[in-house]
Amino acid sequence: MKKRTIYLMGLVTLIVFPIPTFFVLPWLHNLGISDIFQLENLSVFKVGIGIQLGVVYAFLALLFMQAPIFNEMPNRVEKVVQAMNLNLFDCIFLSLCAGIGEELLFRSGVQYYLGPLITAILFVAIHGYLNPFNWKKSLYGFIVLPFILLISYGFVTFGLWFAIAAHFSYDLVLFLVITGDKD
């Protein structure tokens, strides 16, 4: 995959994904941009809890993905990430874009209407990890779904910046470990 495509995907996630949230919530619910970004809720403690959750869960997911059943999958997460040929900057950039863009869309936007449970299931399904036609691919979905549920319910208690930090650190650990393991 070309670097230009990777950066374009990251920027679309960061800039385009949150647009529905920025238009619908202010228009229908009179929420301001500062309400959506929850800047008053930003704290080192909440971000730290999110980072810890993301790092720990990423290592758990990597451990589960070593199960022999995943060897037979043609589109393993590891193979897709390795094919991207990411460097450190790419890993950080993509993790930030996904953490910010997707959490603004799903936690601040979709979850506002559908609640934590349905939003978490929808999030995992949209990523292609809950596939009724491919139960092996759904196994990864069942690994990641509890993490997304933790983010979704954690958002209710700890806010947007917790969710962004958890998502960012999860993706970053996966990217770094997988790109460092090119075997």
- The count of structural domains within the chain is 1
Q: Indicate whether 156 pLDDT > 90.
A: yes
User: What is the token pair recorded at 149?
Assistant: 């549920």
The DSSP symbol for 18 reads: T
> Can you tell me the mean pLDDT for 34-39?
94
**Cα–Cα distance for residue pair 69/148, rounded to 1 Å:** 22
Band (5; pLDDT cuts 50, 70, 90): very high
Using one digit for the tens of pLDDT, what is the confidence trace for 65-124?
888 888 777 667 788 888 899 999 999 999 999 999 999 999 999 999 999 999 999 999
> Can you tell me the mean pLDDT for 116-138?
90
Sign of the alpha-carbon dihedral angle for 106, 109, 115, 118:
negative
Domain interval for residue 92: 3-180
101 burial level (CB within 10 Å; 0-12, 13-18, 19+): buried
- pLDDT at res. 70: 80
Using one digit for the tens of pLDDT, what is the confidence trace for 47-67?
999 999 999 999 999 999 888
Q: Indicate whether 183 pLDDT > 80.
A: no
- pLDDT at res. 62: 94
Q: What percent of the chain has pLDDT over 90?
A: 78
- pLDDT at res. 182: 52
- pLDDT at res. 68: 87
